[in-house]
Structure 1
C-alpha cells in the first residue's frame, strides 16, 4: 500500500467517525468513552426525573442476560425516550464507570382552553387536537394542533383565521394550554364557472354538484364555503353525470379555486372553475352475456341486463346489470362468481358494444367488517346496508352496492370501502371509512293565497336522528286565516328488515273567509309503509285517519 493510499484511508476513517458522532447527537447528547459499551443496565443512574419513575427510564436500556450495553443499545434507548413525548431533553454520559441518564421532563397540561372561538364550539376543537389534559406538553404536538385548528376554520370558510398557543404556568410542572383564536370573516364561494360545457348549461351543472354560492341564505348552510374535499366529490358527481348521459370520453381537465380579494363593492370570495372536455355522446351497440360456468347458461342471464341496443350509453345501467347478473348467478349456487363488463368502442359510429363475461372467482371469505370514522352514526346503521356479512363469500359487486347505498343515505361526507388481508390467505377484512356530516334541515317559507291570506311556515328536520338513521320532522304554519302543525317519523328498517314504516300526525285550523263560509278544525294521523322492489322502485302503502269539525260562521251568513 502506497503512502498516498494510507493517507486517503485515514482521512476516510476520520470522516466516518465525525459523521457518526454528528448523527448521534441530533436527538440528544451522548458522551460515552470506549469502556461504556461494557456497562450493564443495573449500573444506570437517572437524574432530573420528577414524575417518571427511574426504573421506567432504565427499562428503555434493558438488555438480555449475558449481553452488554453497547453504544447501539444506548442509542436505541435514547430514541425511545424521546419517542415517549415525556421529555424535552435527554443527556447520556459516563461518570466513574456508571452510565448517567439526565432528563428534563416535559410539563404536564393542566387544562386546555380556547379563547375567541364563536363559530366553532370548544367540543369541536377538542376533538380535532392531539394535546390532552393531564398529558405531556410537547411543542411539536402543540404546533401540529395549531395547524389543525387553522385547517378546520379554513374548511368552514374562514381563511384569515389566526391561532396563537399560549401556556400559563400553574406551578409543580403544570401548565394551562390556551389557544387564542381570531376567527376573521367568513369567505364564501363567490362564483362557480364551467368551461368547455356544450351539452349542459351552467345552471344544470350547478344542480349536479353540492358546492353552492354565497347568498342571503348562507347563514343556514355550509356548502357555500370552499372545501377541497367537497370540490373533489363534485368532480366525481360531474363525471358520473356525464357517463350517465352517454359521454364516455368525458374528463375534467382542471378544477381551480381562486381567492378574489375584497373590493369596495363586494366582499372577498372564491371563484371555482371547472374546465371540462365533454367528448362525443355514445349509444349502446351490441349487448350480450358470455358464461364460462357450465351450469349457468348465458340465455338465462340476458333478462337481467338493464340496457338495449341503440339506447344512450349509461354507465349506471352497466353497474346495475353487473349487480343483477351477479345476483342471478349466486341464486344458482355460485357465490364466488365474478361478472366483468368489457366495452368495445366504435369511434366511427359512436357505439359501445358491451359484453358481460361470467366466470368463477377465487374462494375468498369476509373475515370481519370494520367501521371507522363514524363519530355520530351507529355502526349497525352502516352494517345493515351490506347484503353480505362476516363469514359470507366475498363479492366485490355486493361491496360496491353497499358503498353506493351508504353514499345515497346522505349521512356522510365521504364513504370509502377498502380491503385488508385477513388471518388466512382466503380471508379478507372489509374496512369502511366514513366521515359524518350535518344532516339537520331547517326551512322558513312564506306566501300568500286568496283562501288563507298571508301565511308563513317553519320546519325543522333531522335525517339521521340520534345517529340511528331515523327521519324526524316537525313543522308549524301560521297565517291570517289558517294555522297548523305536523309531525313525521320514519324508521327505514322496520323490525330489522329493509321495510320502512312511519307515522304522521297533523292539526290544521281554518277560519271563514269571503271564499268559505265556515270554520274547520282538522286533527288526524296516518301510517306509512314502504317495500323496496329494487334500489330505485319502492311500493308505498298509506292509511290516514282524521276527524274534522265544521262550524258555520254566523257573521258570514248574517
Structure 2
C-alpha cells in the first residue's frame, strides 16, 4: 500500500537515510511513487543523463533505500559537486550543482622544475570539468616528479579560484623542500675490497662539497637495481663467482632530507679456472677448430668476460662452417676445496628457432636504423639469446636513451620469436661555456656545441671556439659512425687558429681541413686512413729591423735566423694512416688495460711540404693494493723526416713541453742562444725533428671523503727533443752552430686530481731534476685530467 507523507517528513527521512544508512533497517519499509521527476540546477548535463544515473522511472514504487541508492549513483558519477534528492508529493526533485569548468591550470612555488615538465604529468585539462579526485591525483603525480629528482620532502596542494560563469582556475601550490641527498653509502660483508673502492663502482654517489651541482648524490630508487648489477659485475670479473647482494637497506632521515644506504653483500671465495675442455655433442662436428678459439687459461682468475669472448669466437667458427643452431654451452663445475672452477665448452644442437622480426618503439627522435644496426642478428636469422643480450648492451651504451629494454616473445609459431625493443629518449646535445687558465696563456674563454645523435641519425657534431691571451681557435668535427650501414667511421674536421707572440717572437696563422675513414681489423684493433690539407703561415717574425723605419732595433728582440728563414706561408697536403690496439674494448682483464698505436703521415701529394711524420704510443694502466692505487706508464716517440728539397719548419717540429711535465711548451730541446751562447742575444726555442718521452705516475686516495672527488698522485717523466735539418745560424754576419744533440731531461712532481662538474681537473706541481741551463721550467700547471 502506498502511503503519502508530507514533503518535509519525506525529505527528513531521506536525509536521515543518506546520512545514516544503518538506521534504515529499523524504519518502516515505506514506498514512494512519483508521477513526475523535476531536475533543477543542470546546465551542461542533459536531463536524460541524470535520469539514467538515478534509474527511477515515473510511476515506479521505490523505497527510501532505493532513493538513497539513486543519490549515491549521482554523487559517484563525478559530474556534480552537490546532489539532493527531495520527494515533493507525487514529484521527485533532483537538485544538482555541476562541477565547474577549468579555465586554466597554474603551478606556483616551483623553481627547480619548470612548468612544462610538471604539466606533462597533470591529467586535468583546461575547458574540461573539474574533478577533485583527479586534482588530488595530479598533485600526487607532481610530488612524485619531485621525488624522482631527489626532493622527497616536496608537498603539493591543489587550490581552486572561483570565476564567473561556473569556471575555476586550478592552482597547484608547490613547496619544493630540500634535496633528499645520500649522506652515506655503506657496505656490510665486504672483506676483499674497501668501502671506498666499492663506492667508486656505484652509479649512486654520496653528497659532497659539490652537492649543489651533482645529481648522482640524490636518492633514486631506480638506480639501486643498476648499482646491484654493477657490484655483481665488479666482483664476478675478479673471480668471486658466488657473489650476491643479499639486501639493500635505504633509510631516510626523520626530516626526509637525507638517505643512508647500506648494501649487505656476500663475497664468497675467489675462484680460478681449473681444467678447461671443449667437447662436441653434435654428430659430424669436430671440437678441435672450436677449441683453438678458447681464451680461458688454467690458473687464471675467473672472469665471465673471458668465457663470453671465447663463446663469441667459437660462434664465429660455426658461422664460417655454415653450422646453424649450434649452442656453445659453458658448463662450470665448482671445486670449493681448491677454489677452482672446471670449465667445459659443450657444442650442442639448439632448438630451430628463428627471429621473425624486430619491433622498435619509443624512439621519437632516433631513427630505427640507428637502433637496428646494433643487432648482429636480422630477421630470418637463427635465434641466439646471448647475441640479443649483447645487442641490448650495445643499445644502452649508445647513451641516446635513458632506458632501453630488449625482450623476446613468441612469434606467429613456436619456431619463431619477436624481439621487442622499447627505448626512452634523453637529451644528447649540450651547449657549454667555460673558462680556462694556463700559466703561459693566462685566462681564456671557450664555448662549445656538441650533439652525439645529430638529427637522430647517430652522427656526432662538435663546434668549439676558444680564446686566450695571444691564442684564438675555432674548429668543428663531424663523425658518421656507420657509413654505408657498416662499421666504417667517417670523419670530417676543420679549423682555424692564430697566435700572437705566444711564448715566441713571431705570429702564426693556420687553417686545415681533414677527413678520415676508420674501421676494425680485429676485435681490439682498428685502422684509420686519412687526408689533411692545411695552410700554415709564420709571420711578423722579429728580424731586428723596424717595419716602418727599416732601422735596426734592439738585438735582444731579434728572432733566430733559423726562424726568420721559416717566415712565409706553406701548404701541406698529407695522407696518412694509424693503427690502434686497445685491450679495454673487450675488458678481459679488469685490473690492467693497455693501448698501442702507430701512425704515419706522408706530406708531398701536392703542396709545398715534403716530409714523413711517424709516431708511436704505448700506454698501460693497472690497479694495485686492493685496487686503491692506479699505476700508469706511457711511452711515446715521434720523428719527422724531410725529403726532396724540403726542410722542416718550426711549426712542423715537436715541442718538448707538451710531452713532459715540469717544462714550458717551448721549454726544452734545441735552442738558438746566439753567438755568445749565453742566452742574451736571441734565445729562441726551435723544436726538434725527433722526440721521446716516458711518463709514469701513481694515483691514490688522500684519506679525504671520496665524495669530495679529490685524490693525489706522484709522477716522474723523462725524455728528450732533438734534431734539426739545418744547424747553422747567423747573427749580425757571424755564423755559428746550434746544438741539436739529444740530451735527456727528467722531472718529478706531485698532482692533485679533483673531479668537478666541469670535468676532471689536475693540478701539477713539478720539479725538473735533470735539465739544461737554457731550459724553461714550469713548476705549476692546471690541466684537464685525461687517461691514455
TM class by shorter chain equals 0.7 to 0.9
Counterpart mapping for 1:455-474 below 5 A: 455=444, 457-474=446-463
Change in CA separation of 1:417 and 1:489 when aligned onto 2, cut-off 3 Å: same
Counterpart among 507, 532, 545 of residue 496 in structure 2: 507
- The residue aligned with 2:156 is 163
- The residue aligned with 1:383 is 372
Counterpart among 91, 103, 124 of residue 117 in structure 2: 124
Change in CA separation of 1:480 and 1:275 when aligned onto 2, cut-off 3 Å: farther
2:312 alignment partner, SS class: helix
Residue segments in structure 1 that go unaligned for 5+ positions in a row: 1-24, 26-32, 34-44, 61-78, 93-99
Contact map agreement 1:443 1:460 (CA 8 A) in 2: no
Q: Does 1:448 align with 2:438?
A: yes
Counterpart among 167, 174, 185 of residue 192 in structure 1: 185
Q: Does 1:318 align with 2:307?
A: yes
Q: Once the two structures are superposed, what CA deviation does each residue of 1:7-60 show, in whole Å capped at 9, x if it has no partner?
A: xxxxxxxxxxxxxxxxxx9xxxxxxx9xxxxxxxxxxx9999866778999999
- The residue aligned with 1:516 is 504
Q: Once the two structures are superposed, what CA deviation does each residue of 1:107-166 show, in whole Å capped at 9, x if it has no partner?
A: 554543322222222222233333344555444433332222212212212222121123
- The residue aligned with 1:18 is none
Q: Does 1:398 align with 2:387?
A: yes
Counterpart mapping for 1:313-392 below 5 A: 313-374=302-363, 376-392=365-381
2:490 alignment partner, SS class: strand
1:304 alignment partner, SS class: coil
Q: Does 1:206 align with 2:199?
A: yes
Q: Does 1:543 align with 2:547?
A: no
- The residue aligned with 1:115 is 108
Q: Distance in 2 between matches of 1:537 and 1:85?
A: 67
Q: Distance in 2 between matches of 1:317 and 1:46?
A: 79
Contact map agreement 1:90 1:104 (CA 8 A) in 2: yes
Change in CA separation of 1:53 and 1:446 when aligned onto 2, cut-off 3 Å: same
- Superposed displacement of residue 171, structure 1: 5.8
- Superposed displacement of residue 254, structure 1: 3.4
- The residue aligned with 1:229 is 222
Change in CA separation of 1:154 and 1:391 when aligned onto 2, cut-off 3 Å: same
Contact map agreement 2:435 2:443 (CA 8 A) in 1: no
More helix by share: 1
- The residue aligned with 1:557 is 558
- Superposed displacement of residue 170, structure 1: 5.1
Q: Once the two structures are superposed, what CA deviation does each residue of 1:172-215 show, in whole Å capped at 9, x if it has no partner?
A: 66544332222223343334334444434444433322223444
- Superposed displacement of residue 88, structure 1: 8.1
Change in CA separation of 1:141 and 1:204 when aligned onto 2, cut-off 3 Å: same
Aligned length: 504
Q: Give TM-score scaled by structure 1 length.
A: 0.75
- Superposed displacement of residue 239, structure 1: 1.0
Q: Distance in 1 between matches of 2:362 and 2:499?
A: 49
Counterpart mapping for 1:422-437 below 5 A: 422-437=411-426
Q: Distance in 2 between matches of 1:543 and 1:203?
A: 47
- The residue aligned with 1:484 is 473
Q: Distance in 2 between matches of 1:338 and 1:104?
A: 70
Q: Distance in 2 between matches of 1:256 and 1:101?
A: 56
Q: Distance in 2 between matches of 1:181 and 1:212?
A: 27
- The residue aligned with 1:76 is none
- The residue aligned with 1:66 is none
- Superposed displacement of residue 342, structure 1: 1.7
- The residue aligned with 2:736 is none
Change in CA separation of 1:423 and 1:52 when aligned onto 2, cut-off 3 Å: farther
Q: Distance in 1 between matches of 2:128 and 2:154?
A: 27
1:385 alignment partner, SS class: coil
1:158 alignment partner, SS class: coil
Q: Distance in 1 between matches of 2:349 and 2:94?
A: 63
Change in CA separation of 1:90 and 1:155 when aligned onto 2, cut-off 3 Å: same
Q: Distance in 1 between matches of 2:314 and 2:42?
A: 68
Counterpart among 487, 491, 495 of residue 484 in structure 2: 495
Q: Does 1:298 align with 2:287?
A: yes
Larger Rg: 2
Contact map agreement 2:104 2:170 (CA 8 A) in 1: yes
Q: Does 1:416 align with 2:405?
A: yes
Q: Once the two structures are superposed, what CA deviation does each residue of 1:487-525 show, in whole Å capped at 9, x if it has no partner?
A: 222222223223222222222222225x42211122223
Contact map agreement 1:257 1:273 (CA 8 A) in 2: yes
- Superposed displacement of residue 241, structure 1: 1.5
Q: Distance in 1 between matches of 2:404 and 2:514?
A: 35
1:145 alignment partner, SS class: helix
Q: Distance in 2 between matches of 1:393 and 1:57?
A: 61
- Superposed displacement of residue 404, structure 1: 1.2
- Superposed displacement of residue 323, structure 1: 3.2
Change in CA separation of 1:110 and 1:216 when aligned onto 2, cut-off 3 Å: same
Change in CA separation of 1:379 and 1:512 when aligned onto 2, cut-off 3 Å: same
Q: Distance in 2 between matches of 1:193 and 1:213?
A: 10
Q: Distance in 2 between matches of 1:282 and 1:90?
A: 74
- Superposed displacement of residue 236, structure 1: 0.8
Higher mean displacement: 435-444 or 153-162:
435-444
Q: Once the two structures are superposed, what CA deviation does each residue of 1:76-107 show, in whole Å capped at 9, x if it has no partner?
A: xxx99999977889999xxxxxxx99998765
- Superposed displacement of residue 399, structure 1: 0.9
Change in CA separation of 1:172 and 1:158 when aligned onto 2, cut-off 3 Å: same
Change in CA separation of 1:350 and 1:159 when aligned onto 2, cut-off 3 Å: same
Contact map agreement 1:453 1:481 (CA 8 A) in 2: no
Residue segments in structure 2 that go unaligned for 5+ positions in a row: 1-20, 22-28, 30-37, 54-71, 86-92, 545-556, 560-788
Q: Distance in 2 between matches of 1:194 and 1:124?
A: 36
More strand by share: 2
Counterpart among 245, 249, 252 of residue 245 in structure 2: 252
Q: Distance in 2 between matches of 1:380 and 1:345?
A: 43
RMSD: 4.5
Contact map agreement 2:178 2:257 (CA 8 A) in 1: no
Q: Distance in 1 between matches of 2:456 and 2:337?
A: 52
Q: Distance in 2 between matches of 1:295 and 1:254?
A: 48
Q: Does 1:154 align with 2:147?
A: yes
